Every structure is written in structure tokens, then in C-alpha cells.
Amino acid sequence: MDPSSSVKVGTRKSQLAMTQTEFVVGLLQKQELSVAFKIVPMSTVGDHILDQPLSQIGEKSLFTKELEVALEKKEVDFVVHSSKDLPTTLPDGMVIAAILEREDPRDSVIVSSRHSFKSISELPPASVVGTSSLRRSAQLIQKYPHIIIKDVRGNLNTRLKKLDAPEGPYDALVLAAAGVKRMGWQNRITQVLDPSVCMYAIGQGALAIECREGDKETIELLSHLYHAETALRCVAERSFLRTLEGGCSVPVAVCSSLDNQVLQLEGGVWSLDGAESITGESSIELPTLQGNFCDINSVFVGVVSSIINPECMKLAEKLGAGLAQNLIQKGAMDILRKARADTDLKKNAVVKQ
């Protein structure tokens, strides 16, 4: 990369997003000492609308659209995202050029300091647990029918202030463990939910970097950040979600692993009230993961890489799609259609108020 150039990096304005972007820029500066990086923060639709649940806003790309518009206009050279915020189908001309090593993908529980309880199971009946995710609420209601789920919006700082308020409405919050840990607040975590209790969101815990598809120089710059295991797990997860045509308006969740060249994926769908669910799992053996493959033309659910074996990417994509098809054969689409209809009813009811 031209040492005289300045690389502009897009990100959301939240403290967590800025922290994640500064981390990425720090890694790049270590390998490109002579290149200047400029962080360009901006707000998205999801940052502005805080009085409605995410599932009821009715917009796709809630936390990415404005960033991608800036990318298309060449106002920034690449954008740092939380992978779970990225839709499985990207705008034309955009690709994910790097996926970094995953933080803990699980969900965490933070019980209010007003209580001595440490876990959801210890909470008294009718305790209020805050989450903005249909995925979490469906699974938690299924496992802990004694609690009440209440929507909570805002960035991490805002949510914790609501939890800590002396007369606050929440007894506990459920948040992505990765974000809490990246903010340095892991001492607030009172419980980490095992995937057997609550499977996590597609891509949760991983950072993904998006750039323009034909920008070979930027793609090469970002390729050094790739973590092959995380990328392959995320490709499988994204393929699973895309095949199910899922999004934030329906409860879809996963759990994945890659050990000894075997990629394993577990996934499921739920009704909004957690009463119905279909889950399944599948695995596939992969060949050599990494090398100098020089292939940035093959795109796998939006992801390109010159250092990960394209055959592995193809197999990961196949694994996710195959598991989704298996669940569809068991009736997953009926559950998801009902979940979408219920979400639309709630959205329309809010509009009429």
C-alpha cells in the first residue's frame, strides 16, 4: 500500500464499536507502519431508533446501511462491523474481506447489583430480564418459564445504566459476552449461558471487515487479519441463516466448532414464545485450511479470502445450507412464517398506537 496514502475506516459511533475499530486499526498499524489510518464514526438507523424493538423497526441492515453507503461513495475504504450485524446478503459490490479471531460467542447474564443472585435460574418468579433479541427471548422463555422478558435498547453503557438504576425495571440483562469483555466489564458478568441453554447469534463474537469488491489493495491489506477457523465457522453459520431466510425478526440460533479438521454446526429455529422449536446438527471434514490461494473472485455468503482454501469455504457453505435444508424438511419454515407473522402483528400494533 502507498505509504503516502491515508486509509479511512468506517464505524458506528458507539463506545463498543469505536473500541473494536481501534483494535483493528492497531493490528493493521503493526504490519503497515508507514500507513496512516483515520477512523470515521457515523450513526445508523439502529442507533437512532431506540424506542422500538429491533424486530419491529422493519428495516434490514439496521446497523450497517449508512456505513455501506459511505463505502460505496468511497468516503471510507473499509468498515469494521460486529459480524452478527451483517446481513447474509450484502449490497452489490461489497464483500467481507476479513474475519478476525472470535471472542467468546456465548451470551452472558448480568444480574442487577440490587440482588445477590448469580444466575437466571436463581431469580424469583416474575423477575424481569432485559434483552433486545427474539433469539434470546424465545430460548430463555423455553428454559426459564418463571421469568418475564422485557425489551431493552441502547448501547451497552445505556443498558447497564437502566439495570443499575435504583428503581429500574430490570432484574437482569442478557448481553453478548464478547461485547462486555471487549469493554473490559467482564467482572459484571454473573453467568455465561452454555449453548445447550441458549445458542448464540450467527457470527456473534467475531469482527468482520467489509470493503468494495474490486478493491484488491484493501483486500490484500485486510487478508493478514484473517482467522481461518473463525471465518469457516462464520461462513457455515451465515449459509445456515441465508438458507432459512432469517434475520432479526425471527429466532434463529447456532453453535459451531472446528476441531481436527472437522467443522461442526448445530442450529435451530424457535417460535416467539419458545413453545415450538426444531434443532439439528451436522458436520463435515475439511482439507488443508490455509495457504496462498490467490483467489479473491470466489465469494461465499459475502466472504472472500486469498489465504483460506476455497474448497474449505465451499464445504463450510455447503454444511450450513445442508443443515438448514434438513430443518426445513422437519417444518422449520412453518415456525419461521408464524414468527414473522407474529412480529408483523406487534409492529402494526405499535404503529397504530
Identify the three-state secondary structure at position 90.
coil
Smallest Cα–Cα separation from 328: which of 246, 222, 228? 246
The phi and psi torsions of 287 (rounded to 5 degrees) equal: -80, -160
| Residue 36, number of CB atoms within 10 A of its CB | 12
Q: Which helix (H) or strand (E) holds 280?
A: strand 277-285
Half-sphere exposure of 132 (CA within 13 A, CB side): 20
> In which residue are the cell numbers 469457516 written?
232
Cα distance between the two ends of the chain: 54
Residues 172 and 109: beta-carbon distance below 8 Å: yes
| Pair 67, 11: CB distance under 8 Å | yes
DSSP 60: S
Query: Would you please indicate which residues are annotated as catalytic (active-site) residues?
Result: 85
Nearest to 104 by CA among 206, 255, 225: 206
Contact assessment for residue 149 and residue 141, using Cβ atoms and an 8 Å cutoff: yes
Torsion of CA 296, 298, 304, 307, to 10 degrees: -60
Distance CA 31, CA 305 (A): 18
